[in-house]
């Protein structure tokens, strides 16, 4: 219950910041922005690529540009700057040249374009799967200290927002919203004010995206979740509560089985490399796939964790899931694989059991003499 309350406080704070930014753009200044989620995503991705280490050090299949490994709150500030610059740039391009009703559609088009580009190029920002194992900003995201920081950030954001909604500035923005022609006739620079609002709104959206990060890792892997359907959204908790309880129970059993119960409320970014590998395997159990492909799951893992991963993969295979492993640890391959394919220089040179391949002249020639 305590962790659930923590999540409510964190999500409420983050969503409030995003809502304030959108309200500033549309509610106060009258700029309808149907691509606002693009600015939130820009903040989240910017924080990730500034905060994460280089992709090759993660021990996962993640691939992305950047990997600067900046300190936590420096990465948050970087995300705010990117959100403000992007919001201002879109405002300069669109607000000056088109009507506001068309601006809403143009922003929606930018959002679809960005989503398509990110999905089409996996090496850019992780493709459709996005980025994961994002470190927290220096304070554990599963602690009440983080919730307190969110509240403080919300208070600071509200103080900044009041500069734009109260007093002469707020009066000017409302005049531009309600009667743009009259406001222009009175000497108000509509373009400058609307672009300024886009900058501030973009920065607030990016801040909320940067703070959001990744909070839950196992339950999200479960497939066919009722809560994610249209019916689930309309019917509310009574439609998906029982299934959600089942998913949580399954996740708790997996954490117990893999001796990670003590880490249940920890951020994925705080886990060790071996524990992250175990988390990947547990996600596979939650998703119940028909085929599971793993790339070097034993790389950089301690012998004890290696045994647990081997046991988990064997159990998964016995349950009927086809498990395909790309692995250089030949001892592990011999213990978990029924059929082995040997490749050299991009070609298949031999297949069979591990015992057969150990005595294969072709394999020995390729790896011992070649």
Per residue in 226-238, pLDDT tens? Answer: 434 444 444 455 5
Query: What is the number of alpha carbons within 13 Å of residue 160 lying toward its C-beta?
Result: 16
Which residues does the chain have with pLDDT short of 70?
1-4, 53-69, 94-101, 122-123, 126-136, 138-143, 213-250, 263-271, 273, 287-288, 368-370
What pLDDT shows up at residue 98? Answer: 63
Q: What is the pLDDT of residue 155?
A: 93
- Answer whether 89's CB lies under 8 Å from 201's CB: no
Alpha helices, H only, 97-189? 100-120, 122-125, 144-165, 167-178, 180-185
User: What is the DSSP annotation of 289-312?
Assistant: -SEEEEE-TTTT--HHHHHHHHHH
Q: Residue ranges per domain, the chain?
A: 2-215, 220-338
Q: What is the CATH number of domain 220-338?
A: 3.40.50.300
| DSSP codes of every residue in 175-210 | HHHH-HHHHHHTT--HHHHHHHHHHHHHHHHHHHHH
pTM: 0.56
137 token code pair: 């900003």
Q: Which tokens sit at 48?
A: 């990730």
Distances (CA, A) of 288 to 214, 244, 268, 291: 22, 16, 21, 9
pLDDT tens figures, 318-370? 878 888 988 888 888 888 888 888 888 888 888 888 888 888 888 777 776 65
Q: Which two structure tokens, joined as six digits, stand for 153?
A: 């950030």
State the burial class of residue 302 (Cβ atoms within 10 Å of its Cβ: 0-12, 13-18, 19+).
Answer: exposed
For the record, the structure tokens of 320 come out as 């009927």
Distance of CA 117 to the CA centre of its chain: 16
- pLDDT at residue 229 in the model: 43
Task: Name, in order, each residue with C-beta under 8 angstroms of 264's C-beta and a sequence gap of 6 or more.
Answer: 252, 255
Q: What is the pLDDT of residue 245?
A: 63
């Amino acid at each position: 219950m305590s962790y659930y309350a923590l999540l409510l406080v964190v999500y409420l704070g983050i969503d409030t910041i995003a809502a304030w930014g959108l309200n500033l753009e549309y509610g106060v200044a009258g700029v309808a922005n149907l691509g606002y989620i693009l600015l939130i995503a820009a903040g989240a991705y910017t924080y990730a690529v500034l905060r994460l280490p280089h992709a090759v050090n993660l021990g996962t299949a993640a691939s992305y540009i950047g990997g600067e490994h900046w300190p936590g709150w420096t990465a948050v500030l970087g995300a705010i700057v990117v959100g403000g610059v992007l919001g201002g740039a879109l405002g300069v391009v669109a607000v000056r040249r088109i009507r506001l009703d068309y601006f809403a559609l143009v922003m929606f088009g930018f959002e679809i374009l960005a989503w398509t580009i990110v999905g089409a190029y996996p090496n850019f920002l992780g493709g459709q799967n996005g980025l994961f194992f994002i470190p927290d900003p220096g304070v554990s995201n599963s602690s009440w200290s983080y919730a307190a920081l969110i509240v403080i950030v919300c208070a600071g954001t509200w103080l900044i927002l009041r500069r734009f909604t109260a007093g002469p500035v707020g009066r000017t923005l409302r005049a531009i919203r309600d009667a743009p022609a009259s406001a222009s006739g009175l000497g108000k620079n509509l373009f400058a004010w609307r672009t300024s609002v886009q900058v501030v709104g973009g920065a607030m959206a990016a801040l909320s995206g940067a703070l959001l990060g990744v909070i839950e890792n196992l339950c999200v892997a479960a497939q066919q979740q009722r809560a994610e359907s249209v019916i689930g959204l309309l019917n509310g908790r009574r439609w998906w509560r029982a299934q959600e309880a089942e998913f949580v129970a399954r996740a708790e059993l997996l954490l117990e089985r893999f001796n990670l119960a003590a880490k249940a409320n920890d951020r994925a970014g705080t886990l060790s490399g071996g524990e992250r590998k175990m988390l990947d395997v547990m996600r596979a159990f939650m998703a119940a796939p028909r085929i599971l492909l793993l790339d070097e799951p034993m790389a950089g893992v301690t012998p004890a964790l290696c045994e647990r991963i081997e046991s988990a993969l064997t159990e998964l295979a016995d349950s009927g899931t086809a498990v395909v492993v790309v692995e250089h640890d030949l001892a592990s391959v011999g213990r978990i694989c029924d059929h082995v394919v040997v490749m050299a220089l991009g070609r298949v040179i031999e297949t069979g059991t591990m015992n057969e391949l150990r005595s294969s002249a072709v394999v020995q020639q390729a790896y011992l003499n070649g």
